[in-house]
């Protein structure tokens, strides 16, 4: 191992993380033959195979798994050292790796924009995926921080609220219930519902709400994205419960309305999380401090002012406004 280079370890880590020689070469801006040569040299130096190929997939051997954990520790310590040195120089630089659930994409870029204005030396890698995948990444400690719509269960993690996430009932702007006030839960349950896929945090919160009222929803269709659900609403396929954040930027112009339903909005929150015992990098800790101190700016992102006490709401190209 003494003859192994830092570059060889970088190549190995990228392959192990991406499960692909090709994708690792693309990420590192190397040719695939160069990547293969670096791994051959590393394998020869260690004296044990690091990968095994079964069909078209590659897998880490036991030695590979041990080396991957070692690489993660080395890179994390080295990255922390670089950030400590920058901090000593009065600078804030480094890389922040975030993984967020799909609904969080409606406010996270704006949040990061404000943060990066304060710390222009920090680069951000943002992974947007479904809740199941975010929890998997959290379990495997693949990122610095994670943003979810509810506390991760069954995982040893630290979680803290940083933003409201109210859920509202949406329908097409010309739906018969749009002008009704305080619609009963019984009445809303007569409508066909468009739901996110099983495992979605929004779906779990919706089902929990109606279950607590001993009601069962008429689910007409399940869709895997908020955008698809909004298009289905416009197509008069039913009504849906979504986060108010999904309305902030890209709602179809003048085609959606928030219904005034008893018990809504459902009060939920956004959480940041990270594995218990994880030593946060200086950049990650700086971002957390920013979230905690920027409470008032963050509240503007929740659209809470737009959905409380003003029904029905019609979505137009410039945001949310009352139709009354």
Give the pLDDT of residue 193: 96
Is residue 80 included in any domain, yes or no? no
Calpha distance 126→5 (Å, rounded) = 29
Give the pLDDT of residue 184: 95
Please tell me whether residues 37 and 174 are part of one structural domain.
no
In 10 A of CB 48, how many CB atoms? 11
Please tell me whether residues 109 and 205 are part of one structural domain.
no
Please tell me whether residues 115 and 32 are part of one structural domain.
no
Please tell me whether residues 153 and 275 are part of one structural domain.
yes
Count: domains in the chain: 3
Is residue 187 included in any domain, yes or no? yes
Give the pLDDT of residue 145: 95
User: What are the two backbone dihedrals, phi and then psi, of residue 18, each rounded to the nearest 5 degrees?
Assistant: -95, -10
Mean pLDDT, the chain cut into blocks of 10 residues (324 residues total): 78 92 90 92 92 90 93 82 68 82 86 86 90 91 91 88 91 93 94 91 91 93 90 94 78 78 92 90 86 66 41 34 33
Please tell me whether residues 34 and 121 are part of one structural domain.
no
Please tell me whether residues 315 and 217 are part of one structural domain.
yes
Calpha distance 180→315 (Å, rounded) = 17
Please tell me whether residues 129 and 238 are part of one structural domain.
no
Is residue 262 included in any domain, yes or no? yes
Q: What's 122's domain CATH number?
A: 3.40.190.10
Give the pLDDT of residue 1: 59
Q: Please give the residue range of the domain that contains residue 180.
A: 167-267+305-322
Please tell me whether residues 204 and 139 are part of one structural domain.
no
Calpha distance 301→269 (Å, rounded) = 12
Output DSSP code: residue 278. -
**Taking the model in full, what pTM does it have?**
0.62
Please tell me whether residues 259 and 112 are part of one structural domain.
no
Give the pLDDT of residue 241: 95
Q: What's 18's domain CATH number?
A: 1.10.10.10
Please tell me whether residues 183 and 289 are part of one structural domain.
no
Calpha distance 26→40 (Å, rounded) = 18
Please tell me whether residues 51 and 132 are part of one structural domain.
no
């Amino acid at each position: 191992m003494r003859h192994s280079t830092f570059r060889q370890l970088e190549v190995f880590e990228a392959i192990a993380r991406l499960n692909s020689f090709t994708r690792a070469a693309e990420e590192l801006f190397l040719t695939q033959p160069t990547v293969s040569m670096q791994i051959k040299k590393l394998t020869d130096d260690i004296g044990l195979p690091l990968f095994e190929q079964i069909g078209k997939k590659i897998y880490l051997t036991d030695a590979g798994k041990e080396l991957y954990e070692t690489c993660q520790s080395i890179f994390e310590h080295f990255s922390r050292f670089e950030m400590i040195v920058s901090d000593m120089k009065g600078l804030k630089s480094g890389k922040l790796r975030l993984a967020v659930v799909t609904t969080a994409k409606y406010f996270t870029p704006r949040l990061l924009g404000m943060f990066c204005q304060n710390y222009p030396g920090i680069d951000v890698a943002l992974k947007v995926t479904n809740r199941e995948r975010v929890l998997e990444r959290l379990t495997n400690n693949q990122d610095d921080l994670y943003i979810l719509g509810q506390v991760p269960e069954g995982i040893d993690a630290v979680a803290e609220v940083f933003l409201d996430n109210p859920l509202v009932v949406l329908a097409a702007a010309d739906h018969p219930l749009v002008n009704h006030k305080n619609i009963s839960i019984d009445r809303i349950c007569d409508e066909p519902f468009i739901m996110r896929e099983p495992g979605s945090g929004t779906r779990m919160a919706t089902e929990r709400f109606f279950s607590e009222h001993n009601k069962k929803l008429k689910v007409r269709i399940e869709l895997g994205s908020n955008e698809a659900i909004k298009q289905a609403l416009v197509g008069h396929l039913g009504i849906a419960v979504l986060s108010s954040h999904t309305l902030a930027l890209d709602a179809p112009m003048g085609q959606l309305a928030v219904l005034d339903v008893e018990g809504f909005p459902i009060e939920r929150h956004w959480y940041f999380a990270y594995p218990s015992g994880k030593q946060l990098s200086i950049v990650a800790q700086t971002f957390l401090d920013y979230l905690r101190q920027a409470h008032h700016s963050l509240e503007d992102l929740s659209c809470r002012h737009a959905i409380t006490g003003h029904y029905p709401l019609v979505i137009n190209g410039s945001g949310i406004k009352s139709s009354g």
